[in-house]
Structure 1
């Protein structure tokens, strides 16, 4: 982490904490009932289309919750790496991740080159 000065680390820690609060707020809001959906009892006539739409909305909500949970895990792992002095080092090549990349993606675990290789492997 020699490439990250104390000011950089403080800024990144604040960004991670802000992202964590944002995700926790989103997860808290996800527990509220769906708004604007077609709910049984709103109409005298209830159809299978109503049921399908409600199920689709639930699927979307659950997918959003899963994304938020994964993001929360990534943020907490980044905070742990920061606490352990390993933040900003690529997990593949152990090289420093540039500050610009960390500012854009504070949870980054790989340098751009290693991330590109990882994504290429996933495509094949």
Structure 2
């Protein structure tokens, strides 16, 4: 973290806090209580296509919630690394993650080379 000055660390902390608030707002907006079926739809006759579409929509909703929770975890881990001085160090090779990368992607855990290698490893 030596390559980040106090101003950089403060800017990144603010950016992470803003990202966290955005994710929390998204999660609140998609809470199960916000997805209740209107009463007038309860007695409506539905076809198999309607049921399939409702199931697909529920699956998409759950996937979106999972993505939000994953983003929230990444943000929390970045804030923890920032607090304990481990922020900005590649988890794979131990090199410093470039300042520009951290400012663009504040939850980054790898330098560009290690991230590229990790993504290539996960490709089919």
Considering the TM-score relative to the shorter chain, is it more than 0.5?
yes
Unaligned runs of 5+ in 1: none
What's 2:78 paired with? 78
SS of alignment partner, residue 25 of structure 1: helix
**Whole-angstrom CA distance in 2 between matches of 1:34 and 1:15:** 33
What's 1:7 paired with? 7
Query: What count of residue pairs does the alignment treat as equivalent?
Result: 120
Task: Report which of the two has the higher share of helix.
Answer: 2
**Whole-angstrom CA distance in 1 between matches of 2:62 and 2:68:** 10
**Whole-angstrom CA distance in 1 between matches of 2:46 and 2:3:** 62
Query: CA RMSD, aligned part only?
Result: 1.7
SS of alignment partner, residue 102 of structure 2: helix
Per-residue Cα deviation, 1:82-121 (whole angstroms, up to 9, x for no partner): 0110001101111111111111110000000000111111
**Whole-angstrom CA distance in 2 between matches of 1:34 and 1:17:** 30
Q: CA deviation at 1:34?
A: 6.6
**Following superposition, which runs of at least 4 residues in structure 1 exceed 2 angstroms of deviation?**
none
TM-score (norm 1): 0.90
TM-score (norm 2): 0.90
CA contact (8 A) 1:40 1:46 kept: no
What's 2:96 paired with? 96
**Whole-angstrom CA distance in 2 between matches of 1:34 and 1:88:** 43
**Whole-angstrom CA distance in 1 between matches of 2:92 and 2:48:** 50
